[in-house]
Each structure stands twice: as structure tokens, then as C-alpha cells.
Amino acid sequence: MSKSDKRKQSLYFPEKMLNEIAAEATRQDRSLSWIVQKAWKIAKTEISKYPSVNEPSDDDDESEMEAE
């Protein structure tokens, strides 16, 4: 069995969001890290549907037409 990777990583959240995460962590008697990890596991499929910043979008086509 492999040990879990426990490297430290700094993440920055807007204050309101961090307060909401902290309140949920308190409600569930869990750590902030646990809440964020579970949220990622739930949301990653949906997030992977978003286009990358390097992919052209329909909005880009409209912007080019307006510039001509």
C-alpha cells in the first residue's frame, strides 16, 4: 500500500468562500482540507467539461467578427 502524499500547498480563497468552507467543516466536525478534497472529488467531472483557456470559444468568433 502506498502512503498518502501529505505535501503542503497554499490555496487562496475569497474570504466569504473560506468562511463558508470553515462553517461547513465545523458543522461536519471535519478539517478544511477534508471538505475541499471531498468537494473536488464531487465536482471534478463537471469542472473537466469547462474549456481550457487555450481552446477557442464561440465568444472568440463573435469578437473577431466585430473587429472586422
CB atoms within 10 A of CB 68: 4
Going by C-alpha positions, the residue among 1, 55, 9 that lies closest to residue 36 is: 9
Please give the backbone phi and psi of residue 16, each rounded to the nearest 5 degrees, phi first: -60, -45
52 touches 67 (CB < 8 A): no
Q: What is the 3-state secondary structure (H, E, C) of 3-22?
A: CCCCCCCCCCCCHHHHHHHH
pTM, whole model, 2 decimals? Answer: 0.67
Residue 32 binned pLDDT confidence (cut-offs 50, 70, 90): very high
Residue 7's pLDDT band (boundaries 50, 70, 90)?
Answer: confident
Instruction: Over range 44-52, report the average pLDDT.
Output: 94
Task: Tell me the pLDDT band of 21, cut-offs 50, 70 and 90.
Answer: very high
